[in-house]
Structure 1
Amino acid sequence: MSARLDATASGVYAIAATPFRPDGALDWDSLDRLTDFYLACGATGLTILGIMGEAPKLEPEESLEVARRVIARAGAVPVVVGVSAPGFSAMRRLARGVMDLGAAGVMIAPTPQLRTDDSIAGYFAGAVEAVGEDVPWVLQDYPLTLTVQMTPGLIRRIVEAHPSCVMLKHEDWPGLEKISALRRFQSEGSMRALSILTGNGALFLDFEMERGADGAMTGYAFPDMLADVVKLSGAGRRDEAHDLFDAHLPLIRYEQQQGVGLAVRKYVLMKRGAIASDAQRKPGSALTPAARAEVDYLLARLARHDPRAAF
């Protein structure tokens, strides 16, 4: 069991895929292997049952079993569990269940229909009341998918209202100025300390680190590269961090395509030996032969600069 999540969290929290067999059944052996893979790649934490983890496709009992298995296998490495749900009762059930299993915290995203600052703040107040003020949680800011716009001022309002909010998963795009604004709030004393980990498939990680991010929370299929970039940036080795990041950028960009991103990610994870199948539970997308050939080409080019891509 890991310690509870707090505002000092940093490094790479890998957004974990959920492995399925071709028939749609959960692949428990691959789940164990994938957990080991993330840890071997240098992940400082794991985030499971997120959007890219196909969480809405799981039955409630399956979600708890996935959490139980990953938390037990991760040991001291903190596991954050996505508990976003249309209703607070389902959110509470999953949140309390995974915390009892030893999760470090939960992640909560706003529901897509929210539009005003007051409605967004009110939603998170209700969510905190539902899961319990004792549960550390991550505020997911992902307007490109969730269509909910949160300004730096609104994020500060939510953070200050709820001490149990200890991390922001920052996925705004463009979002570099938002990171700078939040860090400015902290430096001037108008907002308490907050861990900021970034998503968007790591598309902007190189400069996000320079703007004050504490690391990445995303599912790019080379979490070992993400860990290296975070460490190099933290050590002030700017050119080395950018050189490594730039070598991966064509594959990162390809993976960011709407609708096929998870298929690309699972295909690469399968090629890396982390999962047995790149299957998604229905409804889901699959790569065409042409797309697989393109990913293979990108991997071959990447292998010239990073041997981890040579399969």
Structure 2
Amino acid sequence: MRIGAQTKGVYTIAPTPFQADGRLDWASVDSMVDFYASCGVDGMTILGIMGEAPKLDATEALDLVRRVVGRTRLPVIVGVSAPGFAAMRSLARASMEAGAQAVMIAPPPSLRTDDQIVGYFGNACEAIGGDIPFVLQDYPLTLSVVMTPQVIRRIVTENPSCVMLKHEDWPGLEKISQLRGFQSDGSMRPISILCGNGGLFLDFEMARGADGAMTGYAFPDMLVDVVKLAACGDRDKAHDLFDAHLPYLRYEQQQGIGLAVRKYVMMKRGAIACDAQRKPGSVLSPVARGEVDYLLERLSLRDPRARLGG
């Protein structure tokens, strides 16, 4: 089943595992996929910003898609953002042929006006083909493109293949409420809303009408639990679990070193063999690693999943 407006749960954003010399680590791709499945996630998104997609060439990107899709029965979304529509179309069509269920498209930073933004996604949809469901990525903190709720409504209305919003605005709780209001008054068809930003606001995003999370937090199993608790109305338990993770989650969300922190913890959790990024990339100092270890030790007192040893 392809991704659609009914999609709910946790779609983890996966990093791309590299060896210390920068080569793709295929064994770690396999172990990472297995790790995510063991965490109970509902799907995976690869080749996003966290996946260091711009550092892969076209052949590597498609090889990664085929490896992941061939390893899991989970639905897979593929980030296909590219400077030009030809490359976007090529990766999107090939990914769907390989077994992906949808693609994700982010706006280029050059867009400024509402009409430019809406026009871009219309052109992108035409380029990849209206038969491919796509996720609209709204991440102004990194991409510098501000999409108001009205602009998102126009994109959704004009492009039937837009089935999901990856919501990463900050502050963004009112945006979720306004979009769900459009849905309630009939001015926008239903779409799935999965939230990013490391899960930093997931505790309240669920109450505002989000369907789940799409982010790369190194404890996706915690996100799974929070989404399930919120869905069944157990608000206090959801907040208690979320609050226990908040000190480490905050540390991981730092701009510039967030991916290095995530890869380090995923390595400690046994998901990947090496925490290297392909150059250029950030590296944790010994002091920073010590701080992460300290936060994990404290977290382990309330969540044994953080008990990772030395």
What is the CA–CA distance in structure 1 between the aligned matches of 2:130 and 2:57, rounded to whole Å?
Answer: 26
Cα shift readout 1:177-205 (whole Å, capped 9, x = no counterpart): 00000000001111001000000000000
Q: Which residue, 216, 234, 250 being the options, matches 1:237? A: 234
What is the CA–CA distance in structure 2 between the aligned matches of 1:252 and 1:112, rounded to whole Å?
Answer: 27
Aligned to 1:26: 24
Aligned to 1:128: 125
What is the CA–CA distance in structure 2 between the aligned matches of 1:82 and 1:74, rounded to whole Å?
Answer: 17
Q: Are residues 1:284 and 2:278 paired? A: no
Cα shift readout 1:23-63 (whole Å, capped 9, x = no counterpart): 00000000000001011101101000000000000010000
What is the CA–CA distance in structure 2 between the aligned matches of 1:106 and 1:308, rounded to whole Å?
Answer: 31
Aligned to 1:62: 60
SS of residue in 2 equivalent to 1:13 = strand
SS of residue in 1 equivalent to 2:70 = helix
Aligned to 2:159: 162
Paired residue total: 308
Q: Which residue, 212, 219, 223 being the options, matches 1:226? A: 223
Aligned to 2:136: 139
SS of residue in 2 equivalent to 1:53 = coil
Aligned pairs for 1:19-98 (under 5 A) are 19-75=17-73, 77-98=74-95
Structure 1 alignment gaps of length 5 or more: none
How far 1:72 moved relative to its partner? 1.2
Amino acid at match of 2:93: R
Q: Are residues 1:149 and 2:146 paired? A: yes
How far 1:4 moved relative to its partner? 1.3
SS of residue in 2 equivalent to 1:68 = helix
Q: Are residues 1:262 and 2:239 paired? A: no
What is the CA–CA distance in structure 2 between the aligned matches of 1:251 and 1:67, rounded to whole Å?
Answer: 30
How far 1:235 moved relative to its partner? 0.6
Q: Which residue, 177, 195, 200 being the options, matches 1:198? A: 195
Aligned to 2:296: 299
Amino acid at match of 1:279: A
How far 1:237 moved relative to its partner? 0.3
Structure 2 alignment gaps of length 5 or more: none
SS of residue in 1 equivalent to 2:11 = strand
Amino acid at match of 1:48: I
What is the CA–CA distance in structure 2 between the aligned matches of 1:213 and 1:260, rounded to whole Å?
Answer: 27
How far 1:285 moved relative to its partner? 0.4
Cα shift readout 1:106-128 (whole Å, capped 9, x = no counterpart): 00000001010000001001100
Amino acid at match of 1:129: E
What is the CA–CA distance in structure 2 between the aligned matches of 1:74 and 1:132, rounded to whole Å?
Answer: 25
How far 1:74 moved relative to its partner? 1.3
TM-score of the aligned structures, taking structure 2 as reference length: 0.99
How far 1:244 moved relative to its partner? 0.2
TM-score of the aligned structures, taking structure 1 as reference length: 0.99
Amino acid at match of 1:55: A
Q: Which residue, 163, 168, 171 being the options, matches 1:171? A: 168
Runs of 4+ with >4 A deviation:
none
SS of residue in 2 equivalent to 1:213 = coil
What is the CA–CA distance in structure 2 between the aligned matches of 1:139 and 1:63, rounded to whole Å?
Answer: 20
RMSD: 0.4
Amino acid at match of 1:7: A
SS of residue in 2 equivalent to 1:86 = coil
Q: Percent identity?
A: 71
SS of residue in 1 equivalent to 2:90 = helix
Moved more, 260-269 or 249-258: 249-258
Q: Which residue, 209, 214, 221 being the options, matches 2:211? A: 214
Amino acid at match of 2:152: I
How far 1:217 moved relative to its partner? 0.1
What is the CA–CA distance in structure 2 between the aligned matches of 1:184 and 1:123, rounded to whole Å?
Answer: 25
What is the CA–CA distance in structure 2 between the aligned matches of 1:250 and 1:101, rounded to whole Å?
Answer: 39
How far 1:73 moved relative to its partner? 1.1
How far 1:164 moved relative to its partner? 0.2
How far 1:92 moved relative to its partner? 0.4
What is the CA–CA distance in structure 1 between the aligned matches of 2:231 and 2:7, rounded to whole Å?
Answer: 14
